[in-house]
Structure 1
Amino acid sequence: MPTQVTARPLTASDRELLRTATLANVNWTGEQRFTARDVDERPDLRHYTVFRPGRGDLGFVAERQGLVVGVVWALLLGAEDPGYGFVADGVPELGLCVWSGYRGQGIGGRLLRQALAEARRRGVRQVSLSVEAGNPSVRLYRAAGFAPVPGAAAGTMAVDL
């Protein structure tokens, strides 16, 4: 992390943080396409706010002077409750959010590398994600080795570890 930014492990008590990050991610264009209520009530969004270390979820929170500036998390969502970037059971789906005002400082790339390194350490063979067409973060994901998954939903990418 840049000198003033530290990272700590994400915990199950960080649900509000994941709620905020999920809302920011689905509204990445700057237009309010979804509300906090949508994130709370829609199962396709709500599951991104539930972090369960016991099922193998992993994540990190970036902080600067005690303030959260970004978060990365990878959830093991199964076929019974798949995420937008679902590839297969056992393949965690990654989410990444850097707060506005902190982007372009390398925080997202460092969080992404840290999450992928932790996934590798745990023996995970592949990580997936979903990114909408036009989202500038796709450059970050491609640079980390993510590629489109043939036959999966549009915007689904994965990296082999």
Structure 2
Amino acid sequence: MLVEAATWRAGTTRPRHEVLSSPEHGRYVAGWMRPGDAGFVAVDAQAQPVGAAWYRMHARSDPGFGYVATGVPELIIGVRPIWRAHGVGRLLLRALCDRARADGFARISLSVERDNYATVLYRSEGFAVTQRGIGRDTMVKRLR
């Protein structure tokens, strides 16, 4: 699902191995499951994965796209194109935020490109832009 997250734009394709081997994207799954990692997978009626959401802690010395501070997990979400806009992402996002809250985190962050339609979902679920970047924003949700 990392490939789905990285290639969200319609008509965008990148080979799976290219996404997974790139340092900027591979850091989100390399060595899974490290302490502090958590995630969920959504499946269809045939038990095939249609989406996933997970969070991971990054060090200040090796930050992810949505890094805001030590102790704040960064979430990643990917949904297969045919399942987008059907509530899968919202269910995954809510489950992951509930898990982060239960794990004792006060905030959770993410990075989103400005023209990504998921920005509307994130705002509706309580995320707010905290840092503007070139073409992308970092958003944070308070969990307590």
TM-score greater than 0.5 by the shorter chain:
yes
Tell me which interval the TM-score lies in, with the shorter structure as reference length.
Answer: 0.7 to 0.9
* Alignment CA distance shift 1:146-1:48 (3 Å): same
Between structures 1 and 2, the one with greater helix share = 1
Instruction: Tell me how far apart the structure 2 counterparts of residues 32 and 105 of structure 1 sit (CA, whole Å).
Output: 20
Q: Percent identity?
A: 36
- 1:46 matched to 2:26: yes
Give 1:160's aligned amino acid: R
* Alignment CA distance shift 1:146-1:129 (3 Å): same
Q: What displacement does 1:54 show?
A: 3.9
**Structure 2 partner of 1:59:** 39
Instruction: Tell me how far apart the structure 2 counterparts of residues 114 and 99 of structure 1 sit (CA, whole Å).
Output: 18
Q: Deviations over 1:39-60 (max 9, x none)?
A: 2332111111236444211100
Structure 1 unaligned regions, length at least 5: 1-20
Instruction: Tell me how far apart the structure 1 counterparts of residues 16 and 78 of structure 2 sit (CA, whole Å).
Output: 16
Number of corresponding residues = 140
Normalised TM-score (structure 1):
0.79
Return structure 1 stretches of 4+ with deviation > 6 angstroms: none
Q: Deviations over 1:71-104 (max 9, x none)?
A: 0001111112111001011111101111111122
Normalised TM-score (structure 2):
0.88
Instruction: Tell me how far apart the structure 2 counterparts of residues 113 and 136 of structure 1 sit (CA, whole Å).
Output: 17
**Coordinate RMSD, CA, aligned:** 1.7
Structure 2 unaligned regions, length at least 5: none
